């Protein structure tokens, strides 16, 4: 593999990771929990923006997202300044986010920073860890 093709492949993989995360957000925005779950690894863990404990497992993550979606409307998230690093079949993306919507009848608008870790299984990137911090 020549350098140009190798660089193209890395850039394609970076785009695939960013696209995966945006697709996860789109699934939330559309209320499609099943589609969201397709991108969450079975061994998923997360430090949420207001969580006092580590959320462990895909089931816990999907259940939490399902509950949030059930009580929310108009959810929308944007990504700023993404930086993606790939090391074999593991990658991480750091970024700032901006989101808005209504939960339990109360409008929200927040900004924060996040790191997501992905693992590649087969030809698909799955999110295995997330760490979110409100700004």
64 against 52, higher pLDDT: 64
And the tokens for 53? 């404990």
Return the pLDDT at 1: 35
CB 32 within 8 A of CB 15: no
Q: How does pLDDT run across 16-50, given as a tens digit for each residue? A: 999 999 999 999 999 999 999 999 999 999 998 87
Q: What is the CA angle 80-85-90, rounded to 5?
A: 120
On average, the pLDDT of the chain sits at 94
């Amino acid at each position: 593999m020549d350098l140009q093709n190798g660089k193209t492949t890395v850039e394609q993989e970076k785009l695939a990771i960013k696209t995966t995360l945006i697709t996860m957000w789109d699934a939330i925005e559309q209320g499609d929990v099943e589609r969201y779950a397709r991108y969450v690894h079975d061994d998923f863990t997360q430090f949420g923006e207001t969580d006092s404990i580590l959320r462990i497992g895909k089931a816990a993550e999907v259940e939490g997202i399902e509950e949030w979606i059930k009580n929310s409307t108009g959810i929308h998230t944007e990504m700023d300044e993404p930086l993606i690093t790939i090391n074999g079949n593991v990658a991480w993306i750091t970024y700032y986010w901006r989101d808005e919507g209504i939960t339990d009848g109360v409008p929200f608008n927040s900004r924060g920073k996040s790191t997501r870790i992905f693992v590649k299984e087969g030809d698909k990137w799955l999110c295995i860890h997330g760490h979110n911090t409100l700004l």
